[in-house]
Structure 1
Amino acid sequence: MPPTPGGQRQQRGPYVSSNRLVWTRTSIWLGFLALLALGLGLLPAYGFSLAFWFYLLLWITLASGLNIMAGFTGYLPFGYVAFYGIGAYAAAVTVKMHGLPIWAGFIAAALAGVVLSLLFARTMVLRGIYFSIVSLALAVICRLLIAAMPEDVAGGSYGIALGFSNPDGAYYAMLALMLATLLTVTWLAQSRLGMALRAIRDDPDTAETVGINIGRVRLKAWVLSAVIASMTGAIEAWYTSIVDTETAFNLLVSTKAVIFAVAGGLGTVIGPVVGTVVMLIVDDLIWQHFPVLNVFLLGLVIVLLMMFLPSGIVGSLIRAKPFLRRILF
């Protein structure tokens, strides 16, 4: 290392080590994503049933999108389904009512997510359970407003039938969205924006004291999270070819996204992925072997998971084995 003017050598070992750690961890994660994309991309070619895999991708995307707010910022939006539902309806109205192609529907869904997130932005002055309850109430209001609209505007209470579906196309669109979401969260975890969001989560008063513009930083995460959910809803509408208020604004969408993200570990990149995979496998096994006790056993699994792994699967592993930070985000 080059000597300093006083004859001392600069000690850069810790910084070099830290940079190497980040590079190694990022390389492993990106390599995993590349292999995952290749494997999932080949499934339709080999005749696999896409239903399970499509919804696996969907829930990973939703859980990762919710993780941006709940994990990095500390705001748990129980009404997250509002963005999912508005995206589904925006795409359906664009395609069915106005005769535009599906890609225009995706753009409309993203714009609808941005607009709705800006309309809801004022709720972020609330904290904790107050924010969660208000966001839940706003999701219910969105559902009622859309159901009350005339049929020629938003399909009314009967919903909208697109009249066509493309399961393979929707599958690849969801795969692309999931990968884009995971790459975005990977960038966020290492960016200045991500550091600012964590500071707000841990101590908003101190964050404001050191010069972080809480409102602006928080709004960026809110809009990004909303766009991911609205795009997910649009692709699911293309997959099923039908949209109605009962399914598009079903509160179970928010509930499952929260459970999957928490089960894997909020605030980590890979946590929502692991949580979604584990919980879907557990749910499928319970349905196969104990269909009558499905709800009871699934609830029991969730309770035990929260009791013994309060930081989620990935979060608890990292706490128990700190060396795993070298390879896990």
Structure 2
Amino acid sequence: MASSLGGVAAPAEGRSGDARVGRIRISLWIVVALGVVLPLLAAPALTENLSFSFYLMLWIILCTSFNLVAGFTGYMPFGYVAFYGVGAYATGVLHKTYGLPMPGALVCAALAGAAVSLLLAPTLRLKGVYFGIVSLALAVIFRLVVSMLPEDITGGSMGLILARANDPQTTYYVTVAVLAACLAAAGWLAFSRTGVALRAVRDDADAAAIVGIDVTRTRLKAWVLAATFPAVVGGLEAWYTNAIDPEASFNILVTAKVIVYSMAGGLGTLLGPVLGAGALYGIDHLIWQKFPVLNLMFLGIIIMVMILVFPRGLVGSFAQRFPLLRRYIP
């Protein structure tokens, strides 16, 4: 009898413990998200120079959304900047050429990012470096196509000037709202059944399929969500600077920085990309102020040192150092 009762109690205690850990992780993520969003929301009241805070938000959004596909599915899209560029041009063309108000243009930019992700969905059949190379090639193709479109629509190789859209403060507050939505969406995905399925697919797709997980549909959910936010970021940056051109909108350096920032913080966790983006963008900004000509060289050196010291990223290395706390890290 005692043995039977013990056998029943253990699984119940295990489920209770897992639920408690889950609640702690969700609570910690809410605290982190509020700790990021609220100070940035208050920034306009504290300073007139919003540029640093604005671009910090953009990098956090880009790294968080990138983590949804790279950290949760194991895919490494080297051409991730394609979504950013498509969103920038969708916003600019719809606003300047067709007169759509900026909020509506941003919604259409999100839809354009999702549509492009569905168009590129067949590339998810590829694995490893082959997927990365194909996505990089597609980003280059998008840049060339945009450059060759009629100048009266996209501005050709010179791009577009959106002088009538100049409203940096409104752009800033809209970006805060997008940041909050991105962090909320990432948290929802990570703590939902879809997030569990994604991690199972990432670790072993064949085993996940055997236990009944729809591998293709699960990957596609993360892929579409991960494409929507960078498209909005491209639109926000176009709204803030009032200028778009193919070289800047499809600059591969954007993807490179997103990958480095995310990996420095720790892919596969919610906290990692936020921490990595905040730390490295802050360092990058300070270096650029002190050494405007050699900033990329010094940033590269710092990144190399960080990777050598923290090979699993800041969060991953912390979890390795303190394994008992690993399960509580969101």
What TM-score bracket applies, with the shorter chain setting the length? Answer: over 0.9
- The TM-score normalised by the length of structure 1 is 0.93
| 1:162 Cα offset (Å) | 1.3
Are 1:261 and 1:272, in contact at CA under 8 Å, matched by a contact in 2? Answer: yes
Cα distance in 1 for residues equivalent to 2:299 and 2:316: 21
Q: Distance in 1 between matches of 2:129 and 2:102?
A: 38
Which region of structure 1 is more displaced relative to structure 2, 90-99 or 11-20?
Answer: 11-20
Q: How far does residue 198 in structure 1 lie from its aligned partner after superposition?
A: 1.1
- Corresponding residue for residue 158 of structure 2: 158
In structure 2, the residue matched to 1:305 is: 306
Secondary structure of the residue aligned to 1:43 is helix
* Residue equivalent to 1:220: 221
Q: Distance in 1 between matches of 2:5 and 2:205?
A: 43
Cα root mean square deviation, aligned = 1.9
Paired AA for residue 296 in structure 1:
M
* 1:90-109 superposed matches below 5 A: 90-109=90-109
1:255, distance to aligned residue in structure 2 (A) = 0.7
Aligned to 1:10: 9
Structure 1 counterpart of 2:73: 73
Give the SS at the match of 2:239: helix
Cα deviations across residues 44-81 of structure 1 (Å, max 9, x unaligned)?
12234100010000000001111011000000001000
Corresponding residue for residue 199 of structure 1:
200
Give the 5 Å matches for 1:175-214: 175-214=176-215
Per mean C-alpha deviation after superposition, the further-off stretch among 61-70 and 290-299 is 290-299
**Aligned-pair distance for 1:168?**
1.0
Q: Which position in structure 2 is the counterpart of 1:25?
A: 25
- How far did 1:170 drift? 1.3
Amino acid at match of 1:143: R
Q: Mark the runs of 5 or more structure 2 residues left unpaired by the alignment.
A: none
Is residue 2:321 matched to residue 1:320? yes
Asked if structure 1 preserves the Cα contact closer than 8 Å seen for 2:77 and 2:132, the reply is yes
User: What amino acid is the match of 1:170?
Assistant: T
- Residue 132 of structure 1 corresponds to which residue in structure 2? 132
CA contact (8 A) 2:37 2:179 kept: no
TM-score (norm 2): 0.93
Q: Deviation string for 1:11-46 (max 9, x for gaps)?
A: 422222221222123223213322432221111122
Aligned to 1:240: 241
Equivalent residues of 1:162, 1:242 under 8 A apart: yes
**How many percent of aligned residue pairs carry the same amino acid?**
47
2:60 paired with 1:60? yes
Q: In structure 2, give the amino acid aligned to 1:270.
A: L
Kindly state the Cα deviation for residue 297 of structure 1 after the two structures are TM-superposed: 2.5
| Structure 1 residue 154, shift from structure 2 partner | 1.5
> Would the aligned equivalents of 1:91 and 1:234 in 2 still touch at CA under 8 Å?
yes
Q: How many residues align?
A: 326
Write the distance in 1 (CA, Å) between the matches of 2:35 and 2:269. Answer: 20
